Chains A and B, each alone.
Chain A
């Protein structure tokens, strides 16, 4: 139902009712921000990238067909935005990105000594940060329950089975890294 509404909203945006993009933004901004953040961008860069996604949505609104979910369409754009950003950064050889674990470690470590639960989360974030980019990406996409595996497969450009295998292996790696971090 939510998906359908997203699609209807996007169709309206396509027809020129740009106001409706505000609603879509409110619905998805947190998720997109989280995606960029966990993909290794600092919060400020992540915010810029969220903005870039919506700029692209506006720019390419005419190409939206309404087939498949809006979320899948949006995430395939988000993926491209992230890819372009990292390519640009690598080209300029100024890596402004700060991985989330680095960004947080400074002040969180002290707090984590007292709060075990929070410590686990920080460790988890670090573990995620240490995962290979493609594995992190597939895990983040599968985290959003709205995306079906065939949609994730489409975003990644592989078969549905391959997407599932990737999720499986990524989860396995995540667990391994997490355990390693915990023991050190």
Chain B
């Protein structure tokens, strides 16, 4: 047997790493080779010595130091995990899904902005709607002014006040009310309503023409005040005609004369 092989087998034998067969064969080999047997005995002695070698006990200080180190490490781990709890939100924020979502939202807003109807179309629609409302109101005013009930006619006049720009038809209807309505209150309301359109020559003319037709002192004074305010020189002639009326109230007469003076 080669020396190397013997060395390996001897170690296998004493350490108990051999199978029974191998061990038996090795023992037989030793029996047949006393030189190796001697070597083996020395080896076994030394192996036995190693068994006897022991070391002093470590002190309790070693345990203390170890468990202190371990508990420090555990505390560190705990604080780390609580920190990572907070930090774990960041990856969620930067997840590709979320970025994709935000991108889609931005894209949607962009497309919406581009495809949105132009701002000009809005007012057009509002104008159309307003126009329709005006038409309906016009019909309402005309209908209400023809009603037999003074109350409803008053309502009609107040509806007419709501027009931003009353058209010819409404103005004619109001002037007709002013000249021929049986109720003084309705006529007064008509004057009030017509004062909104004094810039319109038709209105001014209509108001001037209605002066001789008015019999109520209340209306005569209201018209006189209005003409003074408007400085309408064309009203002087109708007022002079009115002054010639014998039944004219003296207070009204004075007032009209004063008005004529202030207009001139």
Contact = CB atoms under 8 A, between A and B. Distances in A.
Given A19-B74, A51-B66, A175-B46, A124 B53 contact: yes
A112 interface: no
Nearest to A163: B11
A60 interface: no
Interface in A141-178: 142-143, 145, 148-149, 161, 164-165, 167-169, 171-172, 174-175, 178
A121 B52 contact: yes
B31 interface: no
A29 interface: yes
A54 B66 contact: yes
B55 A33 contact: yes
B261 interface: no
Interface centre among A124, A148, A149, A164 (most CB of B within 10 A): A164
Given A19-B74, A175-B42, A37 B65 contact: no
A25 B43 contact: no
Chain B residues touching A, range: 35 or more
Contacts of A38: 53, 55
B143 interface: no
Contact of A33 (B47, B62, B74): B62
Given A54-B69, A125-B53, A30 B12 contact: no
Interface in B46-93: 46-47, 49-59, 61-63, 65-67, 69-70, 73-74, 77
B66 A149 contact: no
Nearest to A55: B69
A21 B66 CA distance: 10
* B contact face: mostly helix, strand, loop, or mixed: helix
Contact of B49 (A30, A51, A124, A165): A124
A43 interface: yes
Interface in A8-49: 16, 18-19, 21-22, 25, 29-30, 33-34, 37-38, 43, 46-47
Given A51-B66, A171-B47, A174-B50, A18 B77 contact: yes
Given A33-B58, A51-B62, A164-B12, A171 B46 contact: yes
Contacts of A167: 11, 15
A58 interface: yes
Given A125-B53, A178-B49, A172 B42 contact: yes
- 10 A-B pairs with least C-beta separation: A171-B46, A34-B55, A168-B7, A47-B62, A175-B46, A164-B11, A37-B55, A33-B58, A164-B8, A165-B7
